[in-house]
Structure 1
Amino acid sequence: MHVIGPCPGLLLPLGSIFLKYNQLNVRTYVKADAGSGIVLFDTQVDRILPALGARLFGMPYRLVQGHDFNVLGNYVALNTQGIKGEIEKADPFTPQEGSLESFLTDRFWVYARSPVGAVYGVRIKHAPWRLRWWMFL
Structure 2
Amino acid sequence: MLKNVFPPYESVLSYFRLYSSRKMPKKKSASSSKEKEENKVQNPVTLDKSGNIMIKILAKPGAKLNAITGISEEGVGVQINAPPVEGEANTELIQYISSILKVRKSDVSLDRGSRSRNKTLIVTSSGSIGVDIVLEKLKAEINS
**What TM-score, normalized by structure 1, do the two folds share?**
0.23
**What TM-score, normalized by structure 2, do the two folds share?**
0.22
Structure exhibiting the larger radius of gyration computed from Cα positions:
2
Flag the structure with higher strand content: 1
Flag the structure with higher helix content: 2
